[in-house]
Structure 1
Amino acid sequence: MDSFLFYNISKPVNVTYEEPRNELTIYFKPLAIFHFFPEVSLSSTADHLENFKPYPDYQSEIQDLLKMNNKDEQANILENYLISKLFSPKLEMIQDILQKAEEGWKLNDIAESMGISRQYLHRTFLKYMGKSPSLYKRIHRFRQVTSSLQTNEKFISLSHENSFFDQPHFNREFKALTGVVPTIFFKNINDSKDMLWLFV
């Protein structure tokens, strides 16, 4: 059984299969993974961990789950398994940093408000997020735009609402992250199933 943890993806990922695969995918929002796998160590120089087996019983439990045909029952058992591993780490500092970053605070202002150096903030962010604060802020803003798309707003409105200087700035930033302009990107994704994860 192969088990991977992907965590430092900075470009949208489109996964396609040539044939059906029997697999489980668990998506954690930022910091949530540390409540279930507190010993996990993220690196800013890699994008995934191979042979991810965080507990002695992990492999056997997942293999049993993969044998199940009833997806609802499979989801319930997986949820119960994860709840059995639930842990309450002390994440108050990084949670505060993350919240301020998502609110658009400048990094110097975040560091000053918390009484820490910018270098320490940067190291802490890399440890828990696997990416720099500035890259995370760019990705967060991008995700806000993609979720706003469901309201059928014009791109120019989206650019202003998400703190881009103007639409050309929005287009440049969008292309830098996705490799394509917004019109092409949104034309080629399916956002109807609430599975537009895009970044980890």
Structure 2
Amino acid sequence: MRMEFYRPVNQVLQRYIEGYYFISPDGNSERLHYWTFPNNFFIVSVSRDIKIEANNNKITITPSLQENIIANFVSRYISPIEVLVEGSISEITIYFKPLAINYLFSNAHELLQMENTLDFIPFADFIPAMKRILLESDRTFQRQSLEDYWMSKLEIREPGLMESIVSDIESGLKIEDIARSNNFSRQYLNRLFTRNIGKPPSEFYRIHRFRKAIKKQKDIRNLTELSYESLFYDQSHLIRDFKQLTNVNPNAFFKKVDTVNANVWLFI
């Protein structure tokens, strides 16, 4: 099977979608086995003719003799998820940026409270549209159709308060200072953030800092320097977070994972 990751071509969608990948048969291996690590995206996967089983941070996907289209999403996880694909399948997975679903789905707050589901049908035309896209053999047309579909659902608005808060948190400002600058209590900021992002700001920043360290690692080989460049307190702080988010220490992680790739998976 073949897994190919793309960034959106549409410049408007680039604000809302980090990227998407296709899994498709290629006549070679019929097995994919990898780990995916915590991130702050809202991840939607759509597959054709499959059975899916999810439990204990492991997702197993196998072909089904019964024709179907199955869509699921994951909005929050703080431990690695093991993904095992046994047999040839067709799948599209989209990584929506933080806040993006608030511009796409009228029930975004409800979805974020669920954190994940194996039965995701956000629009009446969603399943038929995804089926047509999955059946399309021309990759260029397939990508265009996928991006056109999400553009048709997008309610474009000017960036507002939440975008400002997310930017402040990503830059490393203290939560107390952000709350104070907006005349909020810390408790209110936590509630507001969790309602719109699906997790508290402290968890969001911890994952953002972890992902920032992964991006910087290809240019910084020393863990001490990487710690400070990624806004960790020190090297032991970085090691502790990596162990909690990847189940291994950072040296072991970076030896096994190619951080130059557009997305970060550990293939087994």
Are the aligned partners of 2:239 and 2:250 in contact in 1 as well (CA < 8 Å)?
A: yes
Which one has the bigger strand percentage?
Answer: 2
SS at structure 1 position matched to 2:177:
helix
What is the RMSD of the two structures over their aligned residues, measured on CA atoms? Answer: 2.0
Higher relative contact order structure (alpha carbons within 8 Å, sequence separation ≥ 6): 1
Post-superposition Cα deviations, 1:32-68, rounded to whole Å, max 9, x if no partner, equal: 2222224222445x43133211111111111111111
Match of 2:128 among 45, 60, 67: 60
Q: Which amino acid aligns with 1:126?
A: T
**Which residue in the other structure is 2:227 paired with?**
159
For residues 265 and 156 of structure 2, the distance between their equivalents in structure 1, rounded to whole angstroms, comes to 25
Match of 2:101 among 30, 33, 50: 33
For residues 47 and 139 of structure 1, the distance between their equivalents in structure 2, rounded to whole angstroms, comes to 16
| Structure 1 segment 42-121 matched on structure 2, within 5 A | 42-43=111-112, 46-88=114-156, 92-121=160-189
Deviation at 1:97, TM superposition (A): 1.3
For residues 105 and 139 of structure 2, the distance between their equivalents in structure 1, rounded to whole angstroms, comes to 24
Which one has the bigger helix percentage?
Answer: 1
Greater shift in the superposed pair: 164-173 or 125-134: 164-173
Q: Which amino acid aligns with 2:73?
A: L
Q: Which runs of 5+ in 2 are unaligned?
A: 1-68
Match of 1:179 among 247, 254, 264: 247
TM-score calculated relative to the size of structure 2 = 0.68
Post-superposition Cα deviations, 1:70-127, rounded to whole Å, max 9, x if no partner, equal: 2221111010111111103576121111111111111111111001121211111111
TM-score calculated relative to the size of structure 1 = 0.89
Identical counterparts, % of pairs: 36
Are the aligned partners of 2:75 and 2:198 in contact in 1 as well (CA < 8 Å)?
A: yes
Deviation at 1:12, TM superposition (A): 3.5
Number of residue-to-residue matches in the alignment: 197
| Structure 1 segment 123-138 matched on structure 2, within 5 A | 123-138=191-206
Are the aligned partners of 1:190 and 1:196 in contact in 2 as well (CA < 8 Å)?
A: yes
